[in-house]
Amino acid sequence: MATVTLDLKGLRCPQPILKITAKSVDMKPGDVMEAEANCPTFEQDVKTWCERVGKPLLLIQKDAAGVFHCKIQF
């Protein structure tokens, strides 16, 4: 089980989701993806992404600097 991190700061919708999608093909069952993004729509986008592909969203929170931190279980 590995943890993969993605820095998606500076990218705008739908680029963060496309990056997550592209990386998802390398993820193995049990792996966790941690991503950081500052696109204003990221929270809703990543929730929709997880719902569509059936992956649990372990965490989504925004820090004081406006950066979203998320964890997706594979």
Partner 1 sequence: MSKPPQNNPDLGSALAQHIDVLKKLVEGDIKARLGGEATGIRIVDEMSEYINHIASVYEDSVNQSMELSLAIAQFLNVLNQVAEGNLKVRVPMDFEQEALAALGKGINTAIEKVAERSILEELLKELSTPVLYTWEGVIVMPLIGTLTSNRAQDAMERLLNSITQYRAKVAIIDITGVPVIDSMVAQHLIKTVKAVKILGSDAIITGISAEVASILVKIGIEVEQFTTRNTLREGLQHAIKSIEGNK
Residues that bind partner 1 (CB under 8 A): 12-14, 17-18, 20-21, 24-25, 39-41, 45, 48-49, 52-54
Amino acid identity at 44: Q
Q: Among 23, 65, 55, 61, which residue's Cα sits nearest to residue 43?
A: 61
Residue 56 CB, nearest distance to partner 1 (Å)?
14
Residue 64 CB, nearest distance to partner 1 (Å)?
17
Buried b (16+ CB within 10 A) or exposed e, 5-33: ebebbebeeeebbebbeeebeebeeeebb
Decide whether 18 or 58 has the Cβ nearer to partner 1: 18
Residue 17 CB, nearest distance to partner 1 (Å)?
5
